[in-house]
A and B are shown apart, each in its own frame.
Chain A
Amino acid sequence: MFLGATKGMGRALARLMAERGDDLCLLGRDREDLERSARDLEAHGDGRTVGVAVCDLLHPDGFAAALDQAEEVLPNFDTVVVSAGLFATQEVLEADLALCRRLLTVDFTNTVAFCEEARTRLLARGGGRLCVFSSVAGERARTPVILYGAAKAGLSHYLEGLDHKYRRAGLVTVCVKPGFVKTGMTADLDPPPFAAEADAAARTILRGLDRGAPVVFVTPIWRWVMLVIRHLPRAAMRRIQF
């Protein structure tokens, strides 16, 4: 089950899964867009049917019904991937409080609510994999992405806890922390060094998902960059304005 497969890294990851023969059901906001992606994945999967179910991260009341519907399509599902989310820079969010509230709700509260819904279903069937896209922006507070980073920090925190608590019960939680990946979400930004392509990022994520890695850095170098960043003293962070 895949929430967010119509765009960006989600699209690339879903294609890899379809190509290797996984059965898929797509969840998302816009039925027509979902159908278009389903046809694309069917072509990538040599004709294997891909189902769709409408699910909007802005409306948590619909999560249970959407997952019920997806379960009808995929009765033996064992993996839930969540790559949907919003992104905006600090500058934009500070100027637009409505967008800011929406982003915090979608990227943290509602994503967690969706994961809770998915978690209980996976645990009820003896476990499985829950793969959720967080961000390196959640590793340390940085001025260009304070609000987005805060939501993602909360999400990473939640996913880590989930993994601690339920791995023994068979639920493997994979927290994906992409650095900068060139997708529609980041099209307005200038790519920094180590920017990855969506296809390459998807390959790394799928490897991590299959291995059951608790944390997947899309560009391996970010693991080491973040290690340094995490340990920088506050005074240094403030000074470098990273």
Chain B
Amino acid sequence: MTAIRQLSGWGRHPVVRADEQLSEDLLEATCDVRLTRGLGRSYGDASLPAEAGARVAGTVLADRVLRFDPATGILRAEAGFPLYRLNVLLNHRGFATPVSPGTQFVTLGGMVASDVHGKNHHASGCFGEHVRALRMRVADGRVLEVTERTEPELFRATLGGMGLTGHILEVEVQLERTPSPWIWTETERVPNLQALITRLRLASQEWPFTVSWVDCTSRGRRMGRGILTKGRWASRDEAPPHPPRPKIGLSVPFEMPGFLINPFTVRVFNALYYRKQLRRTRRGITHPQSFFYPLDAIAHWNRLYGRRGFTQYQCVLPDTDDLKVPHRFFEVLVRYGGASPVSVIKDCGAEGKGVLSFPMPGISIALDLAMRDDTQRCVDALNEIVIEAGGRIYLAKDALTRPEHFKQMEPRFDTWQAIRDRWDPERRIVTAQSVRLLGDRP
């Protein structure tokens, strides 16, 4: 018996009817499926099957810790083990994930497949830098222990490989030791893009966590004004004596009408958000959840974008002192009326181990675009700027990039594909994204 459901990524576009097999037993569940998905928090089509009605393995019930050694901080868990459980379980005991993406509703398997990065990318790199071993079911059905030593190529191709190199069954990761579970933050208001990027880079020389929110609707002299956030784990003396209680936030109970988020409402929201911070700088102790996962405070916030959903566009533009490229980027965005209430700029550090991992030294820009008739054209225009600048996009967010654009921005693709050819020549593992972008047959 099967239950066919509507599956989508977090952006709720595209939507595919599929049979998601949830099971505690991943060994069995991954026997005969074309892909494995976790919590479905990638935005686009990375976690979706290429064909409607196809069977997909879901990892969320396979969520056990298999080993945790407080002496070394090494954690091994099943692929469906979610980051929020890790946080609840280990933060108050002085351990944290070495790299945290913008939501804690992701699985370890998903964090590996997307090779997620976080506010500390300039200091700690991607999640994959801290992964010690993987247990995988590869396309021919074998189950292997995959490490940098045993299978270096497969290991590196799997970090950021969007789940296409094999089914991830278990993940072993080196956690970070923290002086307290609280965060010490400083935030400052920054009047324009030039100042924002300069100060972001400066801040990253001193702080382990940096990120900036940017008002992408402001124009002229104020273009790219924003709020810069810097943080570090609070020392034991600074932190409150009690551990932070898990926060329970609001929820968007049902799908909102699609016109709710439009250039006007976003401009008003952004102006208010910018002014919310009255003083130029603010500092103090922050709840780790509010610091790492501000958007998790509103459950189902993706419903705000209405029936058609949205896409997140995230790219990295290589390091340059010339700000013409980001300026043009925002001009194109404003021209298409691409109004995003949550736009994030973050400086990235060195490229990591993952053959296809997203970050490279430079500036990463992430913004939400409501799905409209011209969203495809907007993404195309933004991609052309990215290609010209020598940058690339983040596959975990993407739903709309064209294959020819992807290949132009990804000189590493051939290397990765060659590794995949060796492990899965028949293309038994295929997703909607790999069909759209990499030329796989469904």
Residues of chain A whose beta carbon lies under 8 Å from any beta carbon of chain B: 6-8, 11, 36-37, 39-40, 43-44, 46-47, 89, 91-92, 183-184, 187-190
For the complex formed, measure the closest distance between the CB of B392 and the CB atoms of chain A, giving whole angstroms: 37
Please give, as numbers and ranges, the residues of chain B lying within 8 Å of A7 by CB-CB distance.
24, 61
Shortest C-beta distance, B71 to chain A (Å), equals: 11
Q: How far is the CA of A187 from the CA of B65 in the complex (A)?
A: 22
Q: Are A6 and B24 in contact (CB under 8 A)?
A: yes
Task: Scan B59-87; emit 1 where CB is below 8 A from any A CB, else 0.
Answer: 00100111110100000000000000000
In the complex, the number of residue pairs spanning A and B with C-beta atoms less than 8 Å apart equals: 44
A36-B64, A40-B65, A92-B1 known; A47 vs B70 contact (CB < 8 Å)? yes
Q: Give 24 pairs: A residue, B residue, CB < 8 Å, sorted on A.
A: A6-B24, A7-B24, A7-B61, A8-B24, A11-B64, A39-B64, A39-B65, A39-B67, A40-B64, A43-B68, A43-B89, A44-B65, A46-B93, A91-B1, A184-B22, A184-B23, A184-B24, A184-B61, A187-B3, A187-B23, A187-B61, A188-B2, A188-B3, A190-B3
* Across-interface contacts of A40 in B (CB, < 8 A): 64-66
**Distance in Å from the Cβ of A6 to the closest Cβ of chain B?**
7
**Does B302 have its Cβ within 8 Å of any Cβ on chain A?**
no
Q: Does B21 contact A (CB under 8 A)?
A: yes
**Contact string, B1-14, partner A, CB cutoff 8 A, digits 1/0?**
11101000000000
B265 CB, nearest partner CB in chain A, Å: 32
Bound: A184/B68 CA distance, A:
25
Q: Which residues of A contact B64 (CB under 8 A)?
A: 11, 36-37, 39-40
Residue positions of B touching A, CB distance < 8 A: 1-3, 5, 21-24, 61, 64-68, 70, 89, 93
Contacts of B93 in A (CB 8 A): 46
B3's contact among A39, A46, A189, by CB below 8 Å, is which? A189
Chain B contacts for A187, CB-based, 8 A: 3, 21-23, 61
A107 to chain B, nearest CB (A): 18
A8 to B23, CA, bound (A): 10
Distance in angstroms between the alpha carbons of A47 and B65 in the assembled complex: 12
Complexed CA–CA distance, A184 and B93 (Å): 30
A92 closest partner in B (C-beta): B1
Q: Which residues of A lie under 8 Å from residue B23 when comparing CB positions?
A: 184, 187
**How many angstroms from the CA of A127 to the CA of B65 in the assembled complex?**
34
A37 to B61, CA, bound (A): 13
Is the Cβ of B66 less than 8 Å from the Cβ of A36? Answer: yes
> CA A200 – CA B2 in complex, angstroms?
25
Q: Is there an interface contact between A43 and B24, defined as CB atoms closer than 8 Å?
A: no
The answer for the CA separation of A6 and B65 in the assembled complex, in Å, is 12
Are the CB atoms of A44 and B2 closer together than 8 Å? Answer: no
Q: For residue B67, which residues in chain A have a CB less than 8 angstroms away from its CB? A: 39, 43
Would you list the 7 A-B pairs with minimal beta carbon distance, nearest first? A40-B64, A43-B65, A187-B22, A43-B68, A40-B65, A188-B1, A184-B61
User: In the complex, A187 Cα to B64 Cα: how many Å?
Assistant: 18
Residues of B within 8 A of A6 (CB): 24
A177 to chain B, nearest CB (A): 22
A91-B1 Cα distance, complex, nearest whole Å: 10
Q: Are B89 and A89 in contact (CB under 8 A)?
A: no
In angstroms, Cα B78 to Cα A43, docked, is: 13
Expressed in whole angstroms, the minimum distance between the Cβ of B180 and any Cβ of chain A is: 18
B1 touches A89 (CB 8 A): yes
- Best-surrounded residue of A37, A39, A46, A190 (most CB of chain B within 10 A): A39
CB distance from A38 to the nearest CB of B (A): 10
19 more A-B residue pairs beyond the given contacts A11-B24, A43-B65, A188-B1, with a C-beta to C-beta distance below 8 A = A7-B24, A8-B61, A39-B65, A39-B67, A40-B65, A40-B66, A43-B68, A43-B89, A44-B89, A89-B1, A91-B1, A183-B61, A184-B22, A184-B24, A187-B3, A187-B23, A188-B2, A190-B3, A190-B5
Q: How far is the CB of A2 from chain B (nearest CB, A)?
A: 15
- Determine the chain A residues whose CB is within 8 A of the CB of B1 once the complex forms: 89, 91-92, 188
Give Cα A161–Cα B1 distance, bound, in whole angstroms.
Answer: 36
Of all chain B residues, the one with the shortest Cβ separation from A37 is B64
| CB closest chain-A residue, reference B19 | A188
Q: In whole Å, how far is B288's beta carbon from the nearest beta carbon of chain A?
A: 19
Closest to B58 in A: A187
Closest B residue by C-beta to A189: B3
**CB nearest neighbor in A for B23:** A184
Q: Which residues of B are found within 8 Å of A36, using beta-carbon distances?
A: 64, 66
Contact in complex: B66, A39 (CB < 8 Å): yes
Within the complex, the shortest CB–CB distance from B134 to chain A, in Å, comes to 17
Interchain CA distance A11-B64 in the complex, whole Å: 9
Q: Tell me the minimal C-beta distance from B68 to chain A in angstroms.
A: 4
Nearest CB on A from B56, distance (A) = 12
